[in-house]
């Protein structure tokens, strides 16, 4: 069984929700990536989303775009990301690892070559932002055949019919984009998110993660109340950019934020459990 599925089942048994931090591989420097991944796991991350830097990250806001630029300036590439994944896996056999990025680097490497390399590196899921299900059939099949979950986005604008179509092809979890905008955008309406998640659940049994615009522990807790997973990216990546020259402080503050989110999510779940009981 895929590590992602195993992880969600374990969380569900314990009445907890997944915290999924996103960082861009190679940002601010390639040698800092794996230590930060381990630190995030210690801080309570359940799954790590590792961004594959791309020169033209169209669905991302300025924070992730700058992270991509920093990583690329240090020579990071898709092959480099797979090396980092392998390195992470050597000392962490359990934490699910999802690569998130854009299609062109994968096209350039070749789908088959990428899929087998990702499998061998211990990657558990792949989210290709600019590959919607209409264009994804073969790629998703190749991933699944190699034990890797093809992960897809859902948006506030996604119709019921498309939700069904996407859910059929998706494995691992579905990633609901909580607002109309790019990563790191400003406002998130938890009421709207809750309503949309309820509608999505009528079409799928897959766990639902929510991301884009979750910046602080209270929002993380509010989203955890209605979703199965909370994805935090730009808030962490902002710190990594600001503190790029002070790796020790960067690590400390990134861990502090992740820990605060973890605790807020768990407190909220615990009090919810008491109320239910």
Partner 1 sequence: MKAMTNKKVDYSQFPDATGHFGRYGGRFVAETLMEALHELNEAWQGYRNDPEFLGELDKDLARYVGRPTPIYHAERWSRQLGGAQIYLKREDLNHTGAHKINNTVGQALLAARMGKTRLIAETGAGQHGVASATVAARLGMECVVYMGTDDIKRQALNVYRMRLLGATVQPVSSGSRTLKDALNEALRDWVTNVDDTFYMIGTVAGPHPYPLMVREFQAVIGRETREQMLADHGCLPDALVACVGGGSNAIGLFHPFLNDSEVAIYGVEAAGSGIDTGRHAATLCAGQPGVLHGNRTYLLNDPNGQIVETHSVSAGLDYPGVGPEHAWLKDLGRAQYVAVTDDEALQGFHALTRSEGIIPALESSHALAYVAKLAPTLRPDQRIVVNLSGRGDKDIYTVATLEGIQL
Residues noted as catalytic:
49, 60
Residue 203 beta carbon to partner 1: minimum distance, rounded to whole angstroms: 15
**Residue 72: partners with Cβ closer than 8 Å, 6 or more residues away:** 26, 53, 55
Query: Which residue do the tokens 């374990």 mark?
Result: 10
For partner 1, the binding residues (CB under 8 A) are 54-59, 61-62, 65, 69, 72, 77-79, 102-109, 129-132, 134-135, 152-155, 157-159, 162, 166, 177, 180-182, 185
In angstroms, the CA 156 to CA 23 distance is: 24
In 126-246, alpha helices (H):
133-145, 160-169, 190-201, 217-224, 234-242
User: What sign has the CA pseudo-torsion 102, 103, 106, 112?
Assistant: positive
Residue 133 beta carbon to partner 1: minimum distance, rounded to whole angstroms: 9
Residue 184 beta carbon to partner 1: minimum distance, rounded to whole angstroms: 11
Residue 147 beta carbon to partner 1: minimum distance, rounded to whole angstroms: 24
In angstroms, the CA 166 to CA 149 distance is: 13
């Amino acid at each position: 069984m895929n590590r992602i599925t195993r992880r969600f089942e374990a969380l569900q048994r314990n009445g907890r929700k997944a915290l999924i931090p996103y960082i861009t591989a190679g940002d601010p420097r390639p040698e800092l990536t794996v230590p930060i991944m381990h630190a995030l796991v210690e801080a309570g991350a359940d799954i790590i989303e590792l961004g594959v830097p791309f020169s033209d990250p169209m669905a991302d806001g300025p924070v992730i775009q700058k992270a991509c630029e920093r990583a690329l300036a240090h020579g990071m590439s898709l092959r480099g990301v797979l090396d980092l994944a392998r390195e992470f896996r050597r000392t962490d056999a359990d934490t699910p690892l999802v690569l998130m990025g854009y299609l062109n680097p994968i096209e350039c490497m070749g789908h088959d070559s990428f899929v087998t390399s990702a499998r061998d590196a211990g990657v558990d899921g792949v989210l290709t932002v600019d590959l919607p299900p209409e264009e994804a059939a073969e790629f998703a099949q190749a991933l699944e055949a190699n034990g890797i979950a093809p992960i897809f986005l859902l948006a506030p604008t996604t119709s019921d019919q498309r939700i069904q179509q996407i859910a059929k092809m998706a494995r691992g979890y579905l990633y609901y984009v909580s607002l109309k905008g790019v990563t790191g955008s400003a406002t998130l309406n938890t009421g709207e998110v809750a309503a949309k998640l309820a509608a999505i659940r009528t079409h799928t049994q897959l766990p639902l993660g929510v991301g884009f615009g979750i910046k602080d522990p209270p929002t993380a807790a509010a989203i955890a109340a209605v979703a199965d997973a909370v994805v935090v990216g730009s808030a962490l990546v902002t710190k990594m950019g600001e503190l790029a020259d002070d790796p020790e402080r960067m690590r400390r503050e990134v861990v502090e934020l992740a820990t605060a989110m973890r605790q807020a999510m768990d407190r909220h779940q615990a009090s919810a459990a008491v109320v239910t009981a």
